[in-house]
Amino acid sequence: MKTIYLLIAFLPLIGAAFAGLLCRVISNRMAHTVTIALVAVSAALSGYVLYLHGTGEVPTFNGNVYEWMSVGNLAVAVGFLVDNLTAMMLVVVTFVSLMVHIYSIGYMKGDPGYNRFFSYISLFTFSMLMLVMSNNLMQLFFGWEAVGLVSYLLIGFWFKRPTATYANMKAFIVNRVGDFGFIVGIACMVYLTGHLHYADIFESVKEGSFLTQKFAFLGTEWSVITFAAIFLFIGAMGKSAQVPLHVWLPDSMEGPTPISALIHAATMVTAGIFMVSRLSPIFELSDAALSFIMIIGAITALFMGILGIFQNDIKRVVAYSTLSQLGYMTVALGASAYSAAVFHLMTHAFFKALLFLAAGSVIIGMHHQQDMRFMGGLRKKMPITWFTCLIGTLALIGTPFFSGYFSKDAIILAVENSTIFGSGFAYFSVVASVFITAVYSLRLYFLVFHGKPRYQVDPTMGEHDHKEGFVAHEPHESPAVVTVPLILLAIPSLLVGVLVAKDFIMGTFLQDAITVSSAHPAMAKVAEEFGSVWHMGLHGFVSVPVWLAIIGGFFAWYAYLKKPTVETAYLSALDRTGILKVFTNKYYFDDFNQKYIADGAVGLGRFFWKNVDDRLIDQTAVYGSATLMSKLGGVFRKLQTGYLFHSAYLMAFGLVVLMTWVIIFK
């Protein structure tokens, strides 16, 4: 099994090295063939590993591949922890990555950086696999930083675009803020326990005397474990884009669409959710940390979902949907419903990858037009894209028996049963977000695929021309290399919830991978309430969230398809009150960051440069001392005339001074 685990992790790295190092000498066909083949083998082996662990045929694996270094009792090693949680993540990461690899053949066709692109996405896959397979905090941090680095490269893949270079720098800097918190949390755990390996840390945490220790921080008394847990979660806030560290994710749309699917569905943004679930024994010891997590997730789920209603770029609507759904997962973490959070992570990976790739298919068909206001009527022109996008949309809004319904409903019910401080606000947020999700999701669906076409065809347009509202040709269905991944992703988006809901919600699939305190029985109450998947599915038809989704869907149909003047009317009303400006400016987070954080940091740096570095150090300490010595040298140089009698006078004068000193002070 150890060999299989090594192959799963390192086959994508081999593909990345092959396509990257030989990008100038191999053909495009060779680059995508090798990388896809290696990721496909990794995906097949991941499925095999999930089967073995899921059926209990092999035990949990926790071992080191090799020890990198040892400092006292602290060992830094490369090792794997493979249990049911890891096995599930391996399948999600490799399967979605495989679909993105195949899809990219069609989407990136003709791009001058074609081979480089396949190298990057394979490297992205390797980085995420190392993260989820790690058995220690150091390797976790390596994978954590690696996915951040590769996301920087991919968001700015079209580096000749100023918007792309701005977006990748923004993502990199914002994630450094989160990563600072993360490494502080790691340092706390190493300081408290003296270990880096999960098993040793969890054992020390369980028995540690420091659990009752407190200390002063920012004028407040903190529990040691609460401090560590919150700073660990700050790392998750950056990677999983939680308010206020969410600002990088919408701008990541500047990268190619396949990358949007990979980042938003299976790799970078899921890292924070996975990390908190993996470290659940730590978070379970602090109700304050859980409350903080739940409130942050609730704010993200509600307020980022609202922004999705006011986006016109098809990819940005799906991006804000990702922010909202990550908020759902974070709320579940705060409610100690780790299994529900991980379950939604899995279902969301499938239908969100499907929605992003479907959006990319629409963009291809629309000659790279991304504004939904200039689409419409594509249902008959792009039937496969339409049908698969419909499945993804129904899964996203929580239609009973679709995959998203089971995982989202489990989160809502867990929050309803939670006693953690803030659970009331969180419950309101996730329930209200159901209506909002239905509105922005079906708005996208109706504007793109139904109604009359709102674009014009201009056959004189060149391949790289872009005119608002115009396309070079009539939209048409994408090639099979694009539509086949859509079909393959639509299948789990439809069926995976029915197949595994019992294992995640009512079963014991993750019982050995996560820890839930008896003081946090929210998920246990959900499991008691539903005895079967069928019962849970039928319950949806009489539950408030499903009816809110239906009302939201009806509103979207009426306001955006049946009577578009409704949209004009409510936008005008919001504009008169000034609320629309708040939404279109994304709550002014970007303006605040630019004015007070970015410009403030630049201003502070300029102050230290001019006043400390230049004036104090350079002009005073360095050049000033040199000038002083030069002037003193000029004075003493005048004493050296070369005349013997001058030297005799100086010797006599010195002798007189010396004798005077001796007489007076002795």
> For residues 300 and 324, is the Cβ–Cβ distance under 8 A?
yes
Confidence of residue 619 (pLDDT cuts 50, 70, 90): confident
Is residue 216 predicted with pLDDT exceeding 70? yes
Where are any strands of DSSP class E within 39-181? 61-71, 74-82
pLDDT, residue 160, reads: 87
pLDDT, residue 192, reads: 86
pLDDT, residue 464, reads: 63
> For residues 455 and 469, is the Cβ–Cβ distance under 8 A?
yes
Is residue 654 predicted with pLDDT exceeding 90? no
- Residue 100 backbone phi and psi in degrees, to 5: -65, -40
How many C-beta atoms surround the C-beta of residue 665 within 10 A?
6
Q: Give the containing element (helix H, strand E) for 215.
A: strand 214-217
CA-CA distance, 448 to 618, in Å (whole number)?
Answer: 62
> Global pTM?
0.90
Query: Residue 662 CA to chain centroid, in angstroms?
Result: 79
**576-609: pLDDT as tens digits:** 888 999 999 999 888 888 878 778 888 888 988 8
Q: State the Rg of the chain over Cα.
A: 30
**310-357: pLDDT as tens digits:** 999 999 999 999 999 999 999 999 999 999 999 999 999 999 999 999
> For residues 113 and 157, is the Cβ–Cβ distance under 8 A?
yes
**479-538: pLDDT as tens digits:** 999 999 999 999 999 999 999 988 898 878 898 899 888 889 899 898 888 878 888 888
Percent of the chain with pLDDT over 70: 98
Out of 300-309, 319-328, 468-477, least confident range:
468-477
Average pLDDT over residues 122-130: 95
Mean pLDDT of the chain: 90
DSSP state of 197: B
Query: Residue 639 CA to chain centroid, in angstroms?
Result: 73
**8-67: pLDDT as tens digits:** 999 999 999 999 999 889 999 999 999 999 999 999 999 999 999 988 899 999 988 888
CA-CA distance, 47 to 566, in Å (whole number)?
Answer: 48
pLDDT, residue 184, reads: 94
Encoded amino acid at 550, one letter: I
Is residue 72 predicted with pLDDT exceeding 80? no
CA-CA distance, 256 to 492, in Å (whole number)?
Answer: 24
CA-CA distance, 407 to 545, in Å (whole number)?
Answer: 13
CA-CA distance, 474 to 632, in Å (whole number)?
Answer: 84
CA-CA distance, 241 to 447, in Å (whole number)?
Answer: 27
> For residues 414 and 328, is the Cβ–Cβ distance under 8 A?
no
Residue whose C-alpha is closest to residue 43's, from 86, 88, 4, 94: 94
pLDDT, residue 36, reads: 96
pLDDT, residue 208, reads: 67
Helix, strand, or coil (residue 79)? strand
How is the chain split into domains, by residue range? Answer: 339-459+474-582, 589-665
Is residue 456 predicted with pLDDT exceeding 70? yes
> For residues 296 and 240, is the Cβ–Cβ distance under 8 A?
no
Which residues, 6+ apart, have CB-to-CB distance to 500 below 8 Å? 343, 346, 509
Average pLDDT over residues 602-617: 87
C-alpha torsion 565→567→568→572, nearest 10: 140
> For residues 458 and 471, is the Cβ–Cβ distance under 8 A?
yes
Angle between helices 544-557 and 423-449 (to 10 degrees): 30
Average pLDDT over residues 606-632: 84
How many C-beta atoms surround the C-beta of residue 650 within 10 A?
12
Q: C-alpha distances in angstroms, 130 versus 135, 137, 332, 514?
A: 10, 12, 25, 19
Task: Return the structure tokens found at 275.
Answer: 């990390």
Which residues, 6+ apart, have CB-to-CB distance to 425 below 8 Å? 295, 298
Helix, strand, or coil (residue 228)? helix
Confidence of residue 461 (pLDDT cuts 50, 70, 90): confident
**354-407: pLDDT as tens digits:** 999 999 999 988 888 888 999 989 999 999 999 999 999 999 999 999 999 999
pLDDT, residue 463, reads: 63
CA-CA distance, 288 to 222, in Å (whole number)?
Answer: 10
Strands 74-82 and 61-71: antiparallel
> For residues 372 and 317, is the Cβ–Cβ distance under 8 A?
yes
Within 13 Å and on the Cβ side, how many CA atoms surround 90?
A: 33
pLDDT, residue 630, reads: 84
CA-CA distance, 146 to 144, in Å (whole number)?
Answer: 6
